[in-house]
């Protein structure tokens, strides 16, 4: 966890660490929520069943808290989604009292947790926006614009570190639809793929494309 020294991280892993093989289910939707988890290594995806279809809600990055239902108010909380290891993964499994003591004694960790929750709220706002956009390209471009706006600026453009699966979860589309849209953006010169990351060479050009897509949708409505 960011904000902890190597020795303290090692002690936490020794006491609270759990290891999972690829494909293992850490917890399932509807199960009693007894632990929150912090991803130490590997990849974990969070999925929910919506109208009988399994949807990826997000892919958890290293250092992030998930399964936070166990840490909130309520006598008998349950998990609202399923957590599945995408690769070999190591996590910290913390109950409410343990995490509270950890945050109270480590202001940097507490600040990092607040930053994570703020980012989650921003992503929830993004999903609401995307739900209002009916065409697939607009959803993908909207999310790439948000990510590129805060990505480091380089001479060749802005490099966004996001996989097709992560982008799929952010925009609410299946992976194949996202890949098709990204290919269209590549063909148009709006993005390039560099080391499995998305490079936006001209942010303003991508913004103009988003406005054009919106204008086309308005014409279709008329």
Residue 125 has pLDDT above 90, yes or no: no
Query: Which range, of 58-67, 105-114, 207-216, averages the lowest pLDDT?
Result: 105-114
d(CA 127, CA 20): 30
Tell me whether residue 161 is in a domain: yes
Tell me whether residue 123 is in a domain: yes
Query: Which range, of 33-47, 58-72, 99-113, 130-144, averages the lowest pLDDT?
Result: 99-113
Residue 122 has pLDDT above 90, yes or no: no
Q: What's the gap between Cα 157 and its chain centre? A: 23
Whole-number Cα distances in Å, 70 to 81, 84, 148, 167: 12, 17, 33, 27
Tell me whether residue 1 is in a domain: no
Q: Which residues contact 212 (CB under 8 A, 6 or more apart)?
A: none
Query: What's the average model confidence in pLDDT over 42-70?
Result: 85
d(CA 102, CA 92): 12
- Helical (H) or strand (E) element with 129: helix 107-132
Query: What's the average model confidence in pLDDT over 103-123?
Result: 76
* Residue 166 and residue 115 share a domain: no
* Residue 172 and residue 193 share a domain: yes
d(CA 113, CA 105): 13
- From 72, 101, 127, give the residue that closes a domain: 127
* Residue 161 and residue 103 share a domain: no
Q: Which residue shows structure tokens 């009988």? A: 52
- From 127, 144, 167, give the residue that closes a domain: 127
- The pLDDT value recorded for residue 3 is 55
- The domain in which residue 53 lies consists of 6-127
As a residue count, the chain comes to: 222
- The pLDDT value recorded for residue 130 is 66
> 53 or 87: which carries more pLDDT confidence?
87
Tell me whether residue 24 is in a domain: yes
Percent of the chain with pLDDT over 70: 89
d(CA 43, CA 128): 25
> 134 or 91: which carries more pLDDT confidence?
91
- The pLDDT value recorded for residue 2 is 57
* Residue 12 and residue 116 share a domain: yes
Q: Which of 8, 11, 112, 97 is nearest to 65 (CA)?
A: 112
- The pLDDT value recorded for residue 4 is 63
* Residue 181 and residue 117 share a domain: no
CATH of the domain at 51: 2.60.120.10
State how many domains the chain has.
2
3-state secondary structure 43-85: CEEEEEEECCEEEEEEEECCCCEECHHHHCCCCCCECCCEEEE
- The pLDDT value recorded for residue 118 is 73
DSSP-assigned letters across all residues of 13-37: HHHHEEEE-TT-EEE-TTSB---EE
> Does pTM surpass 0.75?
no
pLDDT tens digits for 170-222?
888 888 989 999 999 999 999 999 888 899 999 999 999 998 888 776 655 55
* Residue 13 and residue 106 share a domain: yes
CATH of the domain at 215: 1.10.10.10
* Residue 91 and residue 16 share a domain: yes
* Residue 184 and residue 122 share a domain: no
* Residue 147 and residue 41 share a domain: no
Q: Which residues contact 122 (CB under 8 A, 6 or more apart)?
A: 146
Residue 152 has pLDDT above 60, yes or no: yes
Query: Which range, of 45-54, 156-165, 181-190, averages the lowest pLDDT?
Result: 45-54
> Which tokens go with 177?
């639809």
């Amino acid at each position: 966890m960011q904000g902890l020294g190597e020795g303290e991280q090692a002690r936490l892993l020794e006491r609270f660490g759990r290891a999972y093989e690829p494909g293992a289910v850490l917890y399932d939707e509807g199960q009693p929520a007894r632990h929150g988890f912090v991803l130490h290594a590997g990849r974990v995806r969070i999925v929910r069943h919506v109208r009988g279809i399994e949807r990826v809600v997000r892919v958890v990055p290293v250092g992030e808290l998930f399964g936070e239902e166990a840490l909130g108010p309520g006598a008998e909380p349950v998990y609202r989604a399923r957590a599945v290891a995408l690769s070999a993964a190591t996590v910290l499994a913390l109950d409410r009292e343990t995490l509270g003591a950890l945050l109270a004694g480590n202001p940097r960790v507490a600040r990092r947790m607040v930053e994570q929750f703020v980012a989650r709220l921003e992503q929830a706002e993004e999903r609401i926006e995307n739900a209002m956009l009916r065409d697939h390209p607009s959803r993908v471009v909207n999310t790439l614009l948000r990510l590129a706006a805060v990505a480091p600026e380089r001479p060749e453009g802005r490099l966004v570190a996001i996989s097709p699966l992560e982008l799929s979860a952010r925009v609410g589309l299946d992976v194949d639809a996202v890949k098709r849209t990204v290919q269209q953006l590549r063909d148009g010169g709006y993005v390039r793929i560099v080391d499995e990351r998305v490079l936006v060479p001209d942010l303003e050009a991508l913004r103009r494309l988003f406005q054009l897509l919106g204008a086309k949708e308005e014409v279709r409505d008329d």
